[in-house]
A and B are shown apart, each in its own frame.
Chain A
Amino acid sequence: MVESISSITIRSLYISSVASFSAFIIAILISLWLSKSKRRMDMLSPILEALVGIPTTVIGLLVYMLLCPRGPLGFFKLLYTPYAIMLGEFFVALPTATSYMARHFYNVRENVKELVLSLGSSNEKFITVLILRELVPILLSSYLIAFSRTIGELGVALIAGGGIEGYTNVLTTAIALQTSLGNYEYAIWIGIILITITLLIVVVVKLLGEYVLWK
Chain B
Amino acid sequence: MGQRRMKSLIVLIVLLMVLIAASTYVITMHNSLFIQPQVTITVSTTTSLYQIGVLDTLLNDFNNFTHANVKFNVLAKGSGEALRLLADGSACFAFVHAPSLELQYLEQGKIERLAIFAYNEFIIVGPRTDPANVNEAQNAIEAFKRIYYAGERGLARFVSRGDLSGTNVRELQIWRLANLSPEGKSWYLKTSQGMAQTLIMADNIQAYTLTDIGSWLKLKNQGKIQNLVELEKDPSYLLNVYSFYISKSPACNNTNILNVAYKFKEYITSRGQDLIIEKYKGLLNPVRGNETMVLQSWEALTKLK
Contact = CB atoms under 8 A, between A and B. Distances in A.
Interface of A: 1, 22, 26, 29-30, 33, 36-37, 64, 68-70, 74, 76-81, 83, 162-165, 167-168, 177, 179-182, 184
B9 A33 contact: yes
Given A163-B75, A180-B76, A180-B193, A1 B53 contact: yes
Contacts, number: 81
A155 to B, nearest CB: 14
Interface of B: 5, 8-9, 12, 15-16, 19, 23-24, 27-28, 30-31, 42, 47, 50-51, 53, 56, 73-76, 88-90, 193-194, 196-197, 199-200, 219, 222, 224, 249-251
A81 B142 CA distance: 47
A69 B251 contact: yes
Contacts of A182: 51, 194, 196-197, 199-200, 219, 222, 224
Nearest to B42: A80
A168 B219 CA distance: 26
A68 B85 CA distance: 9
Given A29-B12, A77-B31, A182-B200, A68 B73 contact: no
A78 B27 contact: yes
A88 to B, nearest CB: 14
B95 to A, nearest CB: 15
Given A80-B42, A80-B75, A68 B90 contact: yes
Contacts of A36: 5
Given A1-B53, A164-B74, A180-B194, 10 more contacts: A29-B15, A68-B90, A70-B88, A78-B27, A83-B30, A162-B73, A163-B76, A165-B74, A179-B194, A182-B197
B31 A80 contact: no
A179 B197 contact: yes
15 contacts: A33-B9, A69-B89, A69-B250, A77-B31, A78-B31, A79-B90, A81-B31, A83-B31, A164-B42, A165-B74, A177-B76, A180-B76, A181-B50, A182-B219, A182-B224
